[in-house]
Amino acid sequence: MCLGLGSLVDGSWRISEVQLALLLEIGSVATAYDPVFTGVDIEFLASLGIRVEKPKDWSGNVLYYMPHCDRSTNEEVISNIMAAGAIGKAVILGNDLRNYTMSDAQFKQVAPRIYQLIHGMKIIFR
């Protein structure tokens, strides 16, 4: 599942193009979603065999490829995975969640699931 790829036809398409290349190399990702996708994006992704749909089931063994998603998107995804009881089944390939800068008190308030998860995270690459 790829989240936050961005539009391939707007002004930031070069960044999205590089991220799409990695997505295609991963090879096992069959779905993608970003609220900024245009009709052209959806048609193009479909031509590559990538279905565009908002995630509905958070309970499976899933690789979440989330290039440059913001804190609130990460918090939403992690909350949904935790609520489905699938935290041990999910792999997130994205930003280092420890890089969100704020005090511990603020972090606990605005991103409680990320805060909870950070202490048990396994960072593979830095």
Q: Which domain holds residue 45?
A: 1-54
More confident call, 120 vs 113: 113
> Percentage of the chain surpassing pLDDT 90?
22
With a cut of 60, say whether residue 111 has pLDDT above it. yes
Q: Are residue 68 and residue 125 in the same domain, yes or no? A: yes
Is the CB of residue 75 less than 8 Å from the CB of residue 64? no
Kindly report the average pLDDT of the chain as a whole number. 83
Q: Over the stretch 50-104, which tens digit does the pLDDT of each residue have?
A: 999 999 889 988 889 988 788 889 889 999 998 999 988 888 888 877 777 667 7
**Tokens read off for 34:** 């970003």
> Band of the pLDDT at 11, cuts 50, 70, 90?
low
- Higher model confidence: residue 36 or residue 119? 36
Please give the average per-residue pLDDT across 111-125, as a whole number: 69
Number of domains in the chain: 2
Q: What are phi and psi of 90, to 5 degrees?
A: -100, 140
Q: Are residues 65 and 50 in the same domain?
A: no
- Which helix H or strand E contains 79, and what residues bound it? helix 71-83
Tell me, what's the pLDDT at 121?
62
Residue 45 sits in the same domain as residue 62? no
Q: What whole-number percentage of the chain has pLDDT above 70?
A: 87
d(CA 28, CA 64): 11
More confident residue, 96 or 123: 96
Tokens at 84, concatenated: 């489905």
Single-letter amino acid, residue 112: P
CB 71 within 8 A of CB 113: no
Same domain, 105 and 124: yes
